[in-house]
């Protein structure tokens, strides 16, 4: 059996980091972890190929070679998915599709004949049997939320890890919170399920043995969803790092209540975590109440961010505008909060009603839905009728993004972060890759682009005043170029 696994092209969004790839000589930000994990559930004697459209082209020769095409996608990939499926149909290649895009909206793709809906671990044995027998069913639906321990070691041999900026691994699925707009609890539930520390360490060791020394994205819905199990994992990671001298660093997603647990924070930093994405959403207490982001209520959010920064973590923040409770000054509130807190990487988006979420159901009942979600958190259009003027929200969002990533505002935010950030072993020792990225940033940001004066002032003052943080500062300057490009295209 010949199986072609295809990962669609990611459009130019916050998470694509497309505009920084030239600095680091990579082809894509993250590998297709879901497809690599599914590949490991297929028989070893089958012939497998994986094509990631973010890394290379999908050729007709690839498609002609395959008996079946396995496709996994998120909502943001839907345009690329339709093109892939069209090409498969033209060559008579059957497609089996899975992933979030199809789990919450497979009925929108009548051109695809076969689906796996939900998490794959418990249904893949039947899929394999039916593939081998030539009697693939229209729909395979996960009966519930499987134990994450059933997930096999990803097939890293199907990709070239050096094509990617960051590797990916998963410890848990699910989140204990109940935010109205979030589809995580729709797909993965509210009871976090985890792998054992031994299983997760085994995955990191497999990456280490393949020569990986850079960042690993722990792609959990909420890394601290089960704090007791997270603590056990962190102790195991610390022991593994000390024993193997592994040089990897880690980033993940967690809720803001991480700031309430100094012991857990210290363990994360000792285990090599350097960045954490936190859903801050809004400084408006009324809007937090509206969307049931209760873990963010009753606290000083700027102070909470600074607790994480002082512990040694860079906070990447998610922010949303467009709640019914938002007032006319919401854009000023968001700008002031982001600048004061030193959240350098501020991923701001207009509220969107994702399929099957409680927000989607509520707006549908109120007759306010006007379009399907694109899944793009930088889309400058709303898919529902808001309480505030729609044109005001959409134009205000574009202006907010441009202001946040205007060079002087952006570099000012980095300075605030560096002042709060606890240096954890940073030294002014640059690798050849670091030096190459710096030279490219010097040419692009310091010569060609507007903001060059602000760039040089920022670089020189950081080098003189905070030399131990210089490497981090330049990394953030480069990332800012990506966000500035995204903002200018809105």
Residue 207 has pLDDT above 60, yes or no: yes
Report the alpha-carbon distance of residue 244 to residue 434 in Å, rounded: 24
What residues contact residue 386 under an 8 Å CB cut-off, 6+ apart? 322, 324, 351, 393
Residue (of 404, 420, 177, 421) closest to 296 by Cα position: 177
- pLDDT confidence of residue 445: 87
Looking at the DSSP bridge assignments, the partners of residue 74 are none
- pLDDT confidence of residue 23: 87
CA 247 vs. chain centroid, Å, equals: 22
- What digits encode the pLDDT tens for the residues 107-118? 999 999 999 999
- pTM, 2 dp: 0.94
- pLDDT confidence of residue 428: 45
For 86, counting Cβ atoms within 10 Å of its Cβ (0-12 exposed, 13-18 middle, 19+ buried), the class is exposed
Q: What's the whole-number average pLDDT of the chain?
A: 94
Residue 301 has pLDDT above 60, yes or no: yes
Please report which confidence band the pLDDT of residue 427 belongs to, taking 50, 70 and 90 as the band edges: very low
Neighbours of 487 (CB within 10 A): 21
Report the alpha-carbon distance of residue 406 to residue 409 in Å, rounded: 6
Cβ atoms of 163 and 21 closer than 8 Å: no
Residue 436 has pLDDT above 80, yes or no: no
Q: Which CATH class is domain 166-405?
A: alpha beta
What residues contact residue 374 under an 8 Å CB cut-off, 6+ apart? 75, 76, 78, 352, 383
- pLDDT confidence of residue 426: 45
Cβ atoms of 282 and 319 closer than 8 Å: yes
- pLDDT confidence of residue 179: 96
Report the alpha-carbon distance of residue 254 to residue 256 in Å, rounded: 7
- pLDDT confidence of residue 424: 56
- What digits encode the pLDDT tens for the residues 306-362? 999 999 999 999 999 999 999 999 999 999 999 999 999 999 999 999 999 999 999
- What digits encode the pLDDT tens for the residues 368-418? 999 988 888 777 889 999 999 999 999 999 999 999 999 999 999 999 999
- pLDDT confidence of residue 22: 83
CATH architecture of 2-141: 3-Layer(aba) Sandwich (3.40)
Per-residue pLDDT, averaged over 136-165, amounts to 97
- pLDDT confidence of residue 431: 63
Per-residue pLDDT, averaged over 13-30, amounts to 90
Task: Say what angle helices 407-420 and 301-311 make with each other, to 10 degrees.
Answer: 70
Residue (of 88, 122, 84, 87) closest to 101 by Cα position: 84
Residue 430 has pLDDT above 60, yes or no: no
**Within 13 Å of residue 92, how many CA atoms lie on the same side as its CB?**
2
Report the alpha-carbon distance of residue 488 to residue 313 in Å, rounded: 28
- pLDDT confidence of residue 375: 83
Cβ atoms of 413 and 342 closer than 8 Å: yes
Residue (of 192, 183, 182) closest to 233 by Cα position: 192
Per-residue pLDDT, averaged over 24-35, amounts to 95
Per-residue pLDDT, averaged over 31-48, amounts to 98
Element (H, E) at 193: strand 193-194
Helix, coil or strand: residue 488 = helix
Looking at the DSSP bridge assignments, the partners of residue 279 are 318
Rg of the chain (C-alpha set):
22
Residue 432 has pLDDT above 70, yes or no: no
- pLDDT confidence of residue 387: 96
Share of the chain above pLDDT 70, in %: 97
Residue 435 has pLDDT above 80, yes or no: no
Please report which confidence band the pLDDT of residue 423 belongs to, taking 50, 70 and 90 as the band edges: low
Helix, coil or strand: residue 338 = helix
Task: Name the least confident of 259-268, 292-301, 336-345, 447-456.
Answer: 447-456
- What digits encode the pLDDT tens for the residues 238-281? 999 999 999 899 999 999 999 999 999 999 999 999 999 999 99
Domain locations in the chain? 2-141, 166-405, 432-488
Residue (of 160, 226, 235) closest to 201 by Cα position: 235
């Amino acid at each position: 059996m010949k199986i072609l696994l295809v990962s669609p092209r990611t459009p130019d969004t916050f998470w694509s980091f497309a505009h920084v790839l030239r600095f680091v000589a990579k082809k894509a930000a993250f590998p297709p972890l879901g497809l690599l994990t599914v590949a490991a559930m297929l028989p070893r004697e089958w012939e497998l190929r994986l094509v990631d459209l973010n890394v290379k082209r999908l050729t007709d020769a690839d498609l002609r070679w395959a008996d079946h095409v396995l496709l996994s996608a998120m909502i943001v990939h839907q345009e690329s998915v339709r093109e892939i499926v069209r090409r498969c149909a033209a060559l008579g290649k059957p497609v089996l599709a899975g992933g979030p895009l199809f789990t919450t909206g497979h009925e929108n793709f009548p051109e695809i004949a076969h689906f796996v809906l939900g998490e794959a671990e418990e249904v893949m044995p039947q899929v394999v049997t039916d593939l081998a027998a030539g009697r693939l069913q229209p729909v395979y639906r996960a009966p519930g939320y499987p134990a994450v321990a059933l997930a096999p070691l990803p097939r890293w041999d199907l990709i070239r890890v050096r094509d990617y900026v960051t590797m990916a691994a998963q410890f848990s699925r699910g989140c204990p919170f109940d935010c109205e707009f979030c589809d995580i609890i729709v797909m993965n539930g509210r009871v976090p399920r985890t792998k054992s520390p031994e299983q997760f360490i085994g995955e990191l060791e497999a990456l280490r043995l393949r020569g990986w020394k850079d960042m690993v994205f722990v792609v959990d819905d909420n890394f601290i969803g089960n704090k007791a199990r997270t603590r056990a994992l962190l102790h195991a990671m610390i022991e593994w790092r000390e024993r193997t001298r592994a040089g990897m660093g880690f980033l993940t997603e967690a809720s803001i209540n991480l700031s309430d647990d100094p012991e857990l924070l210290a363990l994360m930093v000792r285990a090599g975590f350097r960045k954490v994405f936190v859903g801050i959403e809004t400084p408006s207490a009324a809007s937090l109440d509206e969307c049931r982001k209760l873990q963010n209520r009753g606290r000083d959010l700027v102070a909470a961010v600074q607790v994480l920064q002082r512990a040694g973590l860079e906070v990447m923040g998610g922010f949303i505008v467009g709640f019914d409770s938002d007032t006319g000054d919401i854009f000023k509130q968001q700008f002031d909060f982001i600048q004061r807190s030193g959240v350098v990487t501020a991923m701001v988006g207009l509220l969107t009603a994702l399929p099957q979420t409680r927000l989607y159901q509520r707006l549908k009942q109120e007759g306010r839905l006007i379009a399907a979600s694109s899944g793009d958190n930088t889309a400058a259009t709303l898919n529902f009728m808001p309480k505030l003027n729609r044109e005001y929200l959409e134009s205000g969002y574009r202006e907010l993004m441009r202001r946040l990533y205007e060079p002087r505002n952006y570099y000012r935010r980095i300075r605030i972060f560096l002042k709060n950030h606890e240096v954890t072993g940073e030294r002014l020792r640059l690798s050849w890759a670091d030096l190459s990225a710096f030279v490219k940033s010097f040419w692009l940001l310091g010569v060609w682009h507007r903001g060059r004066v602000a760039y040089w002032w920022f670089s020189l003052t950081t080098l003189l005043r905070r030399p131990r943080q210089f490497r981090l500062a330049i990394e953030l300057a480069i990332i800012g170029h990506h966000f500035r490009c995204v903002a200018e295209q809105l």
